[in-house]
């Protein structure tokens, strides 16, 4: 399993954050996803898909509150492994924000 994306991943506001981790192992491991060490579960904008050889986390309509470290832990009776991702969510149109601020001031 990939251990860490050192340079991080950059998404824009409104994008779908899609994190995929491939693994091998029998029996199939118990898979848990975290964002900033908080347990994640499917619902609202989050979808977790656990397949036979990979796990995929999708976060719809990314926004700045979605930035930070995502991690996944795989555990079975034979051991455990983990991977983490540093995610940045950037504004799609930073120039538009400055134009709006100029109009206010």
Q: Is the pLDDT of residue 4 over 70?
A: no
Give per-residue pLDDT as tens, 53-104.
999 999 999 999 999 999 999 999 889 999 999 999 998 765 555 555 455 5
Q: What is the DSSP string of 27-75?
A: SPPEEEEEETTEE--SBTTEEEEE-SSEEEEEESS--GGG-EEEEEEEE
Give CA–CA dist 32/41, Å, rounded. 9
- Fold classification of 4-104 is Immunoglobulin-like (2.60.40)
Give CA–CA dist 53/60, Å, rounded. 23
Q: Which of 1-5, 7-11, 34-38, 92-96 has the highest mean pLDDT?
A: 34-38
- Lowest mean per-residue pLDDT among 22-26, 50-54, 95-99: 95-99
Q: Where are the domains positioned within the chain?
A: 4-104
Residue of 8, 4, 2 whose CA lies nearest to 22? 2
Give CA–CA dist 83/71, Å, rounded. 6
């Amino acid at each position: 399993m990939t251990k860490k994306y050192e340079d991080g991943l950059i998404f824009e506001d409104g994008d779908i954050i899609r994190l995929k981790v491939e693994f091998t192992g029998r029996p199939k491991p118990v898979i848990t996803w975290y964002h900033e060490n908080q347990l994640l579960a499917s619902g609202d904008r989050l979808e977790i898909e656990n397949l036979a050889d990979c796990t995929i986390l999708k976060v719809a309509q990314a926004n700045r509150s979605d930035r930070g470290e995502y991690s996944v832990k795989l555990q079975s009776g034979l051991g455990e492994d983990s991977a983490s991702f540093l995610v940045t969510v950037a504004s799609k149109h930073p120039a538009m924000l400055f134009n709006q601020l100029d109009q206010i001031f």
